[in-house]
């Protein structure tokens, strides 16, 4: 059991208060390595981002805790096919 990528979230809604454990796990689309939740600072504007363990500053993804989906945030990918 691996606890990396877990985030404890606190919700407060009037009288209601509960905790929810969110488990986030994904493979980096760029290189196939694991993506872990990390603080976005200092290089990203989001407080929490998904970072590839192999390239934590190049393979960066947004993290939407409601949909558990993200978008690529890192520097532009330079590839041979895109250059055409």
The DSSP output letter for 15 is T
Scanning 12-20, 39-47, 57-65, 66-74 for contacts with Zn ion by CB under 5 A, the matching segment is 57-65
Q: Nearest distance from residue 70's CB to Zn ion, in Å?
A: 13
* Member of 37, 49, 50, 59 binding Zn ion (CB under 5 A): 59
In this chain, which of 24, 25, 26, 30 binds Zn ion, going by CB under 5 A? Answer: 30
What residues pair up with 22 in beta bridges, in sequence order? Answer: 7
Q: Report 3-22 residues binding Zn ion (CB under 5 A).
A: none
**Is the Cα dihedral 64, 21, 43, 41 positive or negative?**
positive
Confirm or reject binding of residue 70 to Zn ion (CB under 5 A): no
The H or E element spanning position 7 is strand 6-13
């Amino acid at each position: 059991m691996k606890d990396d990528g877990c985030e404890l979230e606190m919700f407060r809604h009037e009288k209601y208060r509960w905790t929810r454990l969110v488990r986030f796990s994904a493979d980096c689309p760029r290189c196939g390595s694991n993506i872990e939740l990390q603080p976005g600072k200092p290089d990203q504007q989001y407080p929490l981002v998904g970072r590839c363990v192999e390239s934590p500053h190049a393979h960066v993804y947004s993290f939407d805790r409601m949909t558990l989906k993200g978008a690529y945030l890192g520097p532009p990918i330079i590839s041979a096919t895109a250059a055409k």
